[in-house]
Structure 1
């Protein structure tokens, strides 16, 4: 019985981590083109999970959807995504990946939107908690940092 439960747990964890990897990979290139953005939004929309990180990517997809949608829906999409992301972070304040998602969203939304108040806080949180993360997330953080507008060269160099 224990073996069956262990196998089931491993099976679920494998597919959940592959879901997360697919979201990360798609999100990393989502801002490069409308096609990539639409692909990420589609992948995020298909995910159903109680994992707060997957929900964080779904919230980021809502914000990104504003970039590729019609004028009338943009404000509500940004508000919905930002509110959801803020709620997730409030419930999971020590989750580094959620902070990284918010950092990337706030870096990339136009300043006129007004959603950029946590840039410094999130950057400091990600940098100070980097060493505690698993190898996959460390790699993802390094890739983000390489293209980040907020992180300095010295800060990027600390990510080893």
Structure 2
């Protein structure tokens, strides 16, 4: 019994560190092309069917359009990443972290691309569901909100 518990704990701890490393890398990805490339590389190394890992991989695809030197591939990177992210949100509409990821992608992608239709919806969802999240996710949402271009100062104050 102890062995099973230890194995499960080890697996859970390993998974958590994967998700935590993706979160940390993602939060810095838009600061520079180097950070973006590091995040993309980290996301590509993850081989998991977990929805959160998949969501960060989708965000990495969209971000890849920003740093690629192959201009003819930019559109396909955005389309592939956005399609994957939308599919995950459609399957898990009450997942706040998925909404944070989509909102950050939509805030940081050029408006001309046209992938910015869910900003108000996601902002509203995050504000109304913030109190229901665990401490780690609350901290992540608060960190995102602090630098968000869509969330007003008064709304930022509601993330306590």
Could you state the TM-score of these two structures normalised by the residue count of structure 2?
Answer: 0.97
Query: C-alpha displacement at 1:6, in angstroms?
Result: 1.6
Shift of 1:3: 2.3
| Secondary structure of residue in 1 paired with 2:31 | coil
Following superposition, which runs of at least 4 residues in structure 1 exceed 4 angstroms of deviation?
none
Please name the residue that 1:86 is paired with.
Answer: 86
Structure-2 separation of matches of 1:78 and 1:88: 15
> Is 1:113 aligned with 2:113?
yes
**Counterpart in the other structure of 2:67:** 68
Q: Which residue of 1 aligns with 2:138?
A: 138
Shift of 1:58: 0.3
SS at match of 1:31: helix
Question: Could you tell me how far apart the structure 2 residues matched to 1:129 and 1:13 are?
Answer: 25
CA RMSD of aligned residues (A): 0.8
Q: In structure 1, what is the Cα distance between the partners aligned to 2:2 and 2:113?
A: 52
Q: Which consecutive residues of structure 1, in runs of 5 or more, have no partner in the other structure?
A: none
Give the TM-score normalised by the residue count of structure 1.
0.97
- Unaligned runs of 5+ residues in structure 2 are none
> Matches of 2:42 and 2:131 in 1, distance apart?
29
Q: CA deviation at 1:112?
A: 0.5
